[in-house]
Amino acid sequence: MPEISKSVGVSGANQRTDVTTVQSLLIKSARYLGSSKLYVATGVVDAITTAAIFRFQRVVVGMKNPDGRIDPKGGTFKLLNEVAAGKNPVPIPPPGAGDAEESAVTVPPAPPAYTGPAEPKKHNDCPFAEMPMFYRWFAPLYWPIRTTNSEGRQVCYQDIHDKDHGNRSRRYLWPRKGGTRYHCGVDLYGNHKDMIVAVESGTIINHYPFYLGTHCLFIQGDSGIVINYGEVEAGSWSEFKLRKGDRVKAGDPIARVGKMTKSSMCHFETYTAGTKSNQRWKTGHSRPNGLLNPTKLLLLIAREGL
């Protein structure tokens, strides 16, 4: 069990090795901290580190008046070690928990987890959007659609054995417009006005009218992946006081599911960093710049996302 020699945090001795130890444990406990921004153990106590200590004390330890300090023999450090090691699992708080001043909006729970039966097929040699492994260890990921739709987190895709799962017309690269172009995203199930939350933390880089009266919302995540949350309700980000250029935290509400002529869904696309608008892929043409296959990422979030 990792130990510290002196106190860490507010008014602590804050020796570098001790701070690194505490930060590493907090990062391992990230999913219990609501929306912690502590991603890297720097060995230096900064505002993000003390905020994470306060959160841990408030959300996990249950302290009414947390002091923001971790002592070598204190209860906070003992529990932090246990939680980081997975020995003392505590309930995962809803997004925004422990941060009352920031959580004016209640985020509904995600539908039950879905595990794809097999690996997805790589269509047309298009690369998958993949979360770097190191990133997955400390950054919580959220299923974007907070819905009661009976299909829940179903990810429609074709696997490496060419077997379809879910409705194939919703999957990546299924033909559209009489076979003249491809479907560049995956259609996620949701009902009109369901809340959409950010899969990961990032920055809003664009939004504009998209398809049949709906809009799209582009967020570049801290992992580098750009997500187009497509077919959302026009202007629905304003409800959450968001505009282009704003930062969003993983799990923050960002928009609502829009309505086309009859149907509602979230058309989910992924791109490489720097992409600011959606790309069309015409049949017989090469892959548009920056387009990535979102299926693998969606299957990961469907299985493990909060």
Footprint of Zn ion (CB under 5 A): 185, 187, 267
DSSP secondary structure letter of residue 237: G
Q: How far apart are CA 136 and CA 138, in angstroms?
A: 6
Shortest-Cβ-distance residue relative to Zn ion: 267
Q: How many CB atoms lie within 10 A of CB 159?
A: 16
Provide the minimum distance between the beta carbon of 217 and Zn ion in the complex, in angstroms, as a whole number: 14
Give whichever of 38 and 155 is closer to Zn ion, judged by the CB atom: 155
Q: Which is nearer to Zn ion, 185 or 221 (CB)?
A: 185
Task: Supply the minimum distance, in Å, between the C-beta of residue 226 and Zn ion.
Answer: 17
Phi, psi of 220 (to 5 degrees): -90, 115
Q: How far is the CB of 183 from Zn ion (least distance, A)?
A: 5
Please compute, for residue 225, the number of CA atoms within 13 A of its CA located in the half-sphere on the CB side: 26
Nearer to Zn ion, 185 or 190 (CB): 185
Among residues 69 and 153, whose Cβ is nearest to Zn ion? 153
CB nearer to Zn ion: give 66 or 294. Answer: 294
Classify burial at 18, counting beta carbons within 10 Å of its beta carbon; exposed 0-12, middle 13-18, buried 19 or more: buried
The number of residues in the chain equals: 306
The phi and psi torsions of 35 (rounded to 5 degrees) equal -125, 60
Q: How far is the CB of 194 from Zn ion (least distance, A)?
A: 16
Q: C-beta of 185: minimal distance to Zn ion in Å? A: 5
State how far the Cα of 197 lies from the Cα of 252, in Å rounded to an integer: 5
At position 197, the amino acid (one-letter code) is V
**What's the distance, CA 204 to chain centroid?**
14
**Which residue number, 243 or 262, has a Cβ lying nearer to Zn ion?**
262
Q: How far is the CB of 238 from Zn ion (least distance, A)?
A: 24
